[in-house]
Structures are given as C-alpha cells and as structure tokens.
A and B are shown apart, each in its own frame.
Chain A
Amino acid sequence: MADETAIRTQDFSKTFGTTRALVSLNLEVPQGEVIGYLGPNGAGKTTTIRLLLGLIRATTGRAEIFGVNCQENPVEAHRRLAYVPGEATLWPSLTGTETLHLLGRVQGTVDTAYRDVLLERFDFDPSKKVRTYSKGNRQKLILIAALMTRADLLLLDEPTSGLDPLMERAFRECVHESRERGQTVFLSSHILSEVEALCDRIAILRAGHLVEVGTLEQMRHLSALQVEAEFDGTVPDLTKVPGVTGVIVDGTRVRCHVTGSVEPLLAVLAQAGVHHLVSREPSLEELFLAHYGADGSEAPSDAPA
C-alpha cells in the first residue's frame, strides 16, 4: 500500500456560540502511526474527533482522512475508519449479538475470526440485552464492534473508560496488534501510562489549541531534567547557573530542573564536592502538568479569556 497520510487537518476550527472549542488545528498523522491525543477536560479532544467524523460542522478549515474530505464526504471517509466513544450509548433493546451483527453489516466489513478472538479476549458474553450490561461491558461491546472491522484508522476517544485493569491490558494488546498490521490509531486519553506505553507520538491540546506535538523523546529533550544532589559541605548557589530553575535547598541536599545542556551545572557541582547525584527524565505526567500548571483550564495568551 502506498504511504498515505491517515489524518491531515488544515486550520481546522470549531466555535460553539462564543466558545472556541478548537482553534486552527494543523495536524498530520501518517499511516501506521499510533498517536496519543492529550488534554484536560474541555480542551477540545472530543470536538476534534467529532469534527473528523463529520458529526459536527467545522467553522473553518478542512480535514482529510486518507485523502477524503471527511466534512464533505463523511460516508466515504467512514469506510476506512472505526470509532470508539468514551461512553457507549447503544440501543438498550438489542442484545450484544444483535448489536455486533447490525454494526458489522452497517460497516460492511467484519473479520469474523478476529471478532471471536476479541469476544474471548475481553471475556464478553454477547447474549444479553444491552440494557442489562454494566458500563464496562457496554464499553467492551463497542470496542469489539470497532476493532472487529480491522479498519485502517481507529479513532478512539477515551476507549478504556470503565474497563478493569485486566481488560485495559487486553485493549493494549489489541492496539499493539493493530500497529503491527499497519493500522493507524488516534488515541485520545486521560490515562497517561496508557499513552506512554502505546503511542509513537503525542499531541497535547490546551483550551482548543494544539500546544505540543512530537515523540516522547523529543518532548523530554525539550523539557527540564530533574536533578537531585547531596553535598559534603556547603551547598553552592545554583540559581545563577545557565538553564537551571526551581532550585530548592534542604540542608545539604538540593533539587533543581535543568533545561538544555547540563554541562554548566555539572561543572559547578564538581567544584562544590557533590557526593550523591540523581538525575531523572520527566515522566509524561510531569510533561503534561508542566503544560497546564496547577490550573489545567488556563487559556494560552492568544486565546480569548
């Protein structure tokens, strides 16, 4: 298959009344990539996905899924994607089997062997009516309905909400399989460990703006390294060292962050007689929190208040 772009958006925006839910999104997701889409509640993650699905109309801009304009021609775009919402609202009067049959027929293609594997893997009994399923079981049902199509693009909007850790593991297994098959996965999630474990690239959204996109390595490289040092004698003044911020002194111990090159800091530490040194890369959680500060809803300076 030719190397295609799974998702491409240009100045993709959505305004609800006076609220700018998504502002000028420019994003490209190559085929075969697993991309994590992060952001606090209300950042515009679900809005992005509903726009890509053509469920809501873009205020400006355009978007393509495998080259098909998904706003103008959603039916065509949907032939190559499968979507899992964070909350499964299925027809309560249908049974699990009926639901899977219907959604498979509507989609047009189903890998029945894989469907049976999924039923087993998620330990799901499809014989009951949807209204009798728990939240977690409904989520399994809608996950199976999406995964069994083996669609080229999986749009997942917090797909594991309500799943227990065992099922969460089963889900990760499915994403790994999808990646191996060359499927593209767009994973919107709150569960940072999940994103860290699964995603090739990460995009971070804040108040409708895409503020960061790259691999975890790239992001780590750009952000601060955490350093903890213990000294034999007096603690040197690190606040003047280039690239060092957030210095906290506790007796003979000191903690600080370093951005960019660590050489100036190492030089100072070596002179001062350091006897214990720990440095750690930031976790995704720290990276994520660094983008929002304490208040995740804080708007960037160019967004309206």
Chain B
Amino acid sequence: MRRRSEAYGDRVASRAVARNTARRASRPGALWGYVFGATIAATVYTYPKTFPTMASREALAAFSNNAAWAALFGPLYRLDTAAGYTAYKSGMFVMILAAIWGLLIATRLTRGEEDGGRWELYLSGQTTRGGAAMQAATGLGIGFVALWLPTALIAALGGALSTTNVSAGALVFFATAVVSAAAIFMAVGVLVAQLAPNRHDANLIGAAILAGSYLIRMMADSDSSLDWLRWLSPLGWIEETRPLTGSRSFAFLPIVAFTVVLVVVSVRIARGRDLGTSAFAERDAPRSRTLLLSGQAGLTLRLARPAVVAWVAALAATGFVFGLVAQAAGSALKGSPTLDRIMERLGGTAAGAISYLGFVFVVAAGLVAIAVAGQVAATRNEEASGHLDNLLVRPVSRWRWLSVRLAVGLGLCLLAGLFSGFAAWVGAATQHAGLGVDQLLKAGLNVVPPAVFILGVGGLAFGLWPRGAIGVAYGLVVWSFLVETVAAIVNSNHWLLDTSPLTHMAPVPATNPNWTAAAWLVGLGVLAALAGIAAFGRRDVVGA
C-alpha cells in the first residue's frame, strides 16, 4: 500500500510542474497565436486587392531574384501568386517573433522559476530534478500547441474567406512551419536555462544562438552558391520546408530531431546539476565597481546598461544590413508601378536606394518600439520585485526616480535611432549608394517620435495602473504592428490607421520628416509621461 501511495505522490507532484508550466505558457501562447493567425489571414485575404492586375503581380515577382530581399525575408518563390506573396510577407516576421517568444517563455518558466526559488518547492516534493525539467518541457509543449492552434485555424479561415486559390491545407502547413520556430527556440531556452547561471544570462546565450541562426540563413539566402549553409541554421530548416510554395514535409525531420535532442540533453544536465548552479560558472565574488553607484540615477544607468547595449547593437546591425542591400533593392524598385504607388501614398517620390530605405526604416521603428516597451517593463519590474523600495525608503523622491527611469528609455531610443541611421550609412557607403550621412541620421532619428509616444503612454499606465503597464506598452506595440500590416494593403485613410504611432511616420530618407506628426507624437508622449509621473507620486507602491 505504501509503495502505491508514494508512486501516486510522485505522479501528482511532477504533473503539478507540467500543469503550472502549461497554464502559464498557454495564455500568452494563444494570444500570440491570434496575432500570428490574423497576420497571415490578413495577408492572404487582401492579396487580390493589393495586386489586382497581372502587371502589378509581375512587378512584384521581379523581386524573386533580388539577393537583398532574400537576405531580409528569406528565399522568394512564386512571388506572383497569393501563396508566394503570403509566404514572403508574413513568413519571416512570424518566424522571428515566434522564435523570440519561444526562447523567452522557456527561460522564464524554467530558469526564471528556479531563480525565484519556486523550483525548490517542487523539488522538496517527490519530483526529481530531471523529472521536473522533463515536465516543464512537456508544459512548454502544451504552450506551443496553444500557439499553433489559433495560428493555423485563423490562417486557414483567412484563406477560405479570400478569393485566392490558396488551400486551407497549405495554410495550415505554412502556419505549422513558421511557428515551429517557437518550438525550436523553446528547446534552446530549456537547454540554455540549464547552462547559464541565471535567467538573464540564459536569455543572452539564447539570443546569440537566434542571431547566429538568422545570420547563417541570411548568407545562405543571399547567394545561391551558399544554399547548403541553410541546413546549418534552425531557421534555414523552416525555410527548407518551403511552406505555401512546395510544402516539403521532410524538412521537418531536422526540426523535430533537434528539438527532441535538446530536450533530452537538458533533462540529462538537470539530473546531474545542483539546483541554482550552472555549467558555465559565474564568478560570485567579482571586483566591486562602484563608479556608477553614487546615486539612484547611476544605479538606473547601470541596471539598464545591458539592455541598452544589446538594443543599440541590434539596431546598428539592422541598419547596416538595410544599408548594405539598399542599392540592389532600390534598383529593383525602379520602374515598378505598384511600389511606386505605395511610395507615392507614403509621400515619397524618389526611387532607388533612398526609396528602399524609406520603405524599410519602419522595421527599425518597430524594433525601437519593442525596445522602449521593454524599458516600461523594466520600470514596472523594478517596482514589482521590491527593489525600488530600497530607494524610496531613503531620501529619493518618486518623481525623480521615474523621470530618470523614463529618461534612460528616451536615451535608448535616441542612441538606437542614431546608430541604426549611421550603420545604414556605413552599409550603403560600402555599396557606393551615394547617400549622405545626414540623410540617414535623419532617418534614424525619425524612428524616435513613435517610440517616445509609446514610452510616454507606458509611463502613464505605470502611474495609473502599475499592474497593467507592461501589457499596455507591449499591447500598443503589437497593435501598431497589426495596423501597419493592414496599412500596407488598404488604400483609404481609415481612422483605424491613425491609432498606430508608426503610421504617422514619414518614410525618411525617401521624404523629409513629417515634423508636425513628429511634434505631436513627442508632445503627447511627454505629456503622458508627465501625467504618469504625477500619478505615481499619488499612488501606493505595489508589489507583484
């Protein structure tokens, strides 16, 4: 009898880990699933409207052989069809976001739980370290299903409702392929969670692996003689499935094998490792550096430094790639009536590299918006973790602290914008694109006003509704992306488009900045931030 009850206890205990992980992964998973599904469905559905004539489709198809576009968006097959267009338009976007989400959720629910001391509770029950890791992986698998299901269903629905001939089956295959990036990087997250000394470092290692995968496939896609390289990158395997343009199931083999192997290895490591330790040792007694720690402002700078450096580097890399491919992409743009029309609607007239850059710098704006939402999250997390208490119980005023915190966010926007612009100029200069550094610095700075707006609204939410602040900031970013997707395909000046700060951006350097819109965005952002600072002074400090 005794043995049976023990076995029962073990099963219940380990299932508790799986259940808890599944619950916490499924909710955001389903939410992102709706976003991804809607993105894909909107692309398929609006294709006939965006490219109504054969001529417009052929103009788009001219990009098929463009190395620069392939480097950015992946190999472009059958670009003159609805299927090919959908694959190009939403494939890479969904793939990268899914990969980032998979990585972050996996490290949060494994290493994050361990750092927070909650795994000790599980492991003091009858679960083993390896068992808990396995159960967490299972829970994440359920979270993946919660992501995949709405993505596939909504994508298929979009296809069924549209007048295109893209089949629901092909769209489900496409959805499966692109969100499999989440499964791969969940497995990467589970592994790095075992290797790194804490969640933060685990995220950094995971992000490096993701960046490496992206760069490898980028090289493979930009030069057909390097095709074989694609098999070295997990993101390359997804491209090899050729979703919507060939549907090659065998390319799922390395994806599944890689995911399974990583999980098995992780469970092995977990079994042999002491809780709270890591394979990569951390120096627990480093030299103390007190240079910045002379006050709350210095502390804020020091705490924000890793995120600021990472984002500025990422934006600089993005800008450099834009610059590098601008000349080639720009010459392809010349003489394409559809894209000319798009440029005209956006207010641009010039063609060539400058036109292309005006078109793609909105991507940089999106990245800076994500970075700034991260700053709002960091602000809230400083309060929720209780760390802020240590300052506020000393002679530090709330308004000063929040002002400095938001100023650091503003500094991040400015640095990221300037570096992306400068790096784009360097990239373009290597191709002799003949663009002035002032033009591209202006393009870089042009991405700042929408970010300032998001930062301000995030600050206001922090002041009024602290527990919702992170949701508001990221929600605004996600909303902007969705509106941006729609804006690219509808012609009208629908009021819905005005709700996204990104749509108010002029396509600099193809045009001059829209100073009025920029002033409005910055003005509203600053006002919202000031209101947030005032509100923070009047409310309770609230923990998690």
Q: Tell me if B540 counts as interface (CB < 8 A to partner A).
A: yes
**A91 with B284: CB separation less than 8 A:** no
Residue A89 contacts which of B284, B286, B387 (CB distance < 8 angstroms)?
B387
Docked complex Cα distance between A75 and B401 (Å): 12
- Pick from A55, A93, A106 the residue with the most CB of B within 10 Å: A106
Chain B residue at minimal CB-CB distance from A53: B393
Chain A residues near B200: list those with CB within 8 A: 93
Beyond A55-B393, A75-B397, whether A105 also contacts B387 by CB under 8 A is: no
- Contact flags (1/0) for A185-218 with B, using CB distance below 8 Å? 0000000000000000000000000000000000
Selected interface stretch from A34-42, A128-136, A175-183: A128-136
- Contact flags (1/0) for A85-116 with B, using CB distance below 8 Å? 10101111111011001110111100000000
**B299 with A83: CB separation less than 8 A:** no
Q: Tell me if B208 counts as interface (CB < 8 A to partner A).
A: no
**B395 with A127: CB separation less than 8 A:** no
Docked complex Cα distance between A78 and B289 (Å): 26
Docked complex Cα distance between A40 and B295 (Å): 37
Docked complex Cα distance between A74 and B391 (Å): 12
**A56 with B288: CB separation less than 8 A:** no
- Contact flags (1/0) for B118-147 with A, using CB distance below 8 Å? 000000000000000000000000000000
- Contact flags (1/0) for B451-478 with A, using CB distance below 8 Å? 0000000000000000000000000000
Q: How far is the CB of A154 from chain B (nearest CB, A)?
A: 12
Chain B residues near A275: list those with CB within 8 A: none
**B394 with A78: CB separation less than 8 A:** yes
Q: Tell me if A79 counts as interface (CB < 8 A to partner B).
A: yes
**B285 with A105: CB separation less than 8 A:** no
Q: Tell me if B162 counts as interface (CB < 8 A to partner A).
A: no
**B295 with A127: CB separation less than 8 A:** no
Q: How far is the CB of A291 from chain B (nearest CB, A)?
A: 29
**A57 with B538: CB separation less than 8 A:** yes
Q: How far is the CB of B393 from chain A (nearest CB, A)?
A: 4
**A90 with B290: CB separation less than 8 A:** no
Docked complex Cα distance between A25 and B395 (Å): 25
Docked complex Cα distance between A127 and B396 (Å): 26
Docked complex Cα distance between A98 and B294 (Å): 10
**A95 with B295: CB separation less than 8 A:** no
Chain A residues near B198: list those with CB within 8 A: 92, 131
- Pick from B296, B539, B541 the residue with the most CB of A within 10 Å: B541
- Pick from B282, B295, B390 the residue with the most CB of A within 10 Å: B390
Chain B residues near A107: list those with CB within 8 A: 394-395
Chain A residue at minimal CB-CB distance from B289: A98
Docked complex Cα distance between A94 and B393 (Å): 19
Q: How far is the CB of B425 from chain A (nearest CB, A)?
A: 35
**B540 with A53: CB separation less than 8 A:** no
Q: Tell me if B303 counts as interface (CB < 8 A to partner A).
A: yes
Q: How far is the CB of B129 from chain A (nearest CB, A)?
A: 20
Q: How far is the CB of B412 from chain A (nearest CB, A)?
A: 19
**B393 with A83: CB separation less than 8 A:** yes
**B539 with A53: CB separation less than 8 A:** no
Chain B residues near A94: list those with CB within 8 A: 293
Chain B residue at minimal CB-CB distance from A149: B394
Q: How many residues of B contact A (CB 8 A)?
A: 33
- Contact flags (1/0) for B1-31 with A, using CB distance below 8 Å? 0000000000000000000000000000000
Docked complex Cα distance between A57 and B387 (Å): 19
Docked complex Cα distance between A76 and B389 (Å): 16
**B288 with A127: CB separation less than 8 A:** yes
Number of residue pairs A-B, CB distance < 8 angstroms: 89
**B294 with A105: CB separation less than 8 A:** yes
Give the size range of A's interface with the partner: 35 or more
Residue B285 contacts which of A92, A93, A108, A127 (CB distance < 8 angstroms)?
A127
**B293 with A79: CB separation less than 8 A:** no
Q: How far is the CB of A157 from chain B (nearest CB, A)?
A: 10
Residue A102 contacts which of B115, B299, B389 (CB distance < 8 angstroms)?
B299
Residue B540 contacts which of A57, A79, A105 (CB distance < 8 angstroms)?
A57
Chain A residues near B296: list those with CB within 8 A: 106
**B290 with A101: CB separation less than 8 A:** yes
Q: Tell me if B385 counts as interface (CB < 8 A to partner A).
A: yes
Q: Tell me if B169 counts as interface (CB < 8 A to partner A).
A: no
Chain B residues near A76: list those with CB within 8 A: 395
Q: Tell me if B519 counts as interface (CB < 8 A to partner A).
A: no
Chain B residues near A132: list those with CB within 8 A: 284
Chain B residues near A93: list those with CB within 8 A: 200, 303
**B541 with A106: CB separation less than 8 A:** no
Q: Tell me if B386 counts as interface (CB < 8 A to partner A).
A: yes
Chain B residues near A97: list those with CB within 8 A: 288, 290
- Pick from B200, B387, B393, B538 the residue with the most CB of A within 10 Å: B393
Chain B residues near A89: list those with CB within 8 A: 385-387, 389-390
- Contact flags (1/0) for B389-414 with A, using CB distance below 8 Å? 11111111100000000000000000
**B540 with A106: CB separation less than 8 A:** no
**B394 with A55: CB separation less than 8 A:** no
Chain B residues near A129: list those with CB within 8 A: 282, 284-286
Chain A residue at minimal CB-CB distance from B296: A106
Q: How far is the CB of A124 from chain B (nearest CB, A)?
A: 13
Beyond A106-B295, A128-B285, whether A75 also contacts B395 by CB under 8 A is: yes
**A128 with B289: CB separation less than 8 A:** no
Chain A residues near B394: list those with CB within 8 A: 78, 103, 106-107
Chain A residue at minimal CB-CB distance from B288: A97
Chain B residue at minimal CB-CB distance from A146: B393
**A79 with B395: CB separation less than 8 A:** yes
Docked complex Cα distance between A102 and B300 (Å): 11
Docked complex Cα distance between A132 and B115 (Å): 11
Chain A residues near B293: list those with CB within 8 A: 94, 98, 101-102, 105
Chain A residues near B387: list those with CB within 8 A: 89-91
**A55 with B389: CB separation less than 8 A:** yes
Docked complex Cα distance between A103 and B299 (Å): 10
Chain B residue at minimal CB-CB distance from A84: B393
Chain B residues near A75: list those with CB within 8 A: 395-397
CB within 8 Å of B: which A44-93 residues: 50, 53-57, 74-76, 78-79, 83, 85, 87, 89-93
Docked complex Cα distance between A54 and B294 (Å): 24
Q: How far is the CB of A145 from chain B (nearest CB, A)?
A: 8
Chain A residues near B284: list those with CB within 8 A: 128-129, 132
- Contact flags (1/0) for B298-316 with A, using CB distance below 8 Å? 1100010000000000000
New contact pairs (17) apart from A55-B541, A102-B293, CB-CB < 8 Å: A53-B392, A55-B393, A83-B393, A85-B386, A87-B386, A89-B385, A89-B386, A90-B387, A93-B200, A95-B286, A101-B293, A102-B299, A103-B390, A106-B296, A127-B285, A128-B284, A129-B286
| 19 A-B pairs in the complex with CB atoms less than 8 angstroms apart | A54-B392, A55-B389, A55-B393, A55-B541, A74-B392, A75-B395, A85-B386, A90-B387, A90-B390, A91-B387, A92-B115, A94-B293, A95-B285, A98-B290, A98-B293, A103-B394, A106-B391, A107-B394, A142-B390
Q: Which 5 A-B pairs have the closest CB atoms?
A: A89-B386, A97-B288, A56-B540, A102-B293, A132-B284
Q: Residues on A close to B: CB < 8 A?
A: 50, 53-57, 74-76, 78-79, 83, 85, 87, 89-95, 97-98, 101-103, 105-108, 127-129, 131-132, 142
Q: Residues on B close to A: CB < 8 A?
A: 115, 198, 200, 282, 284-286, 288-290, 293-296, 298-299, 303, 385-387, 389-397, 538-541
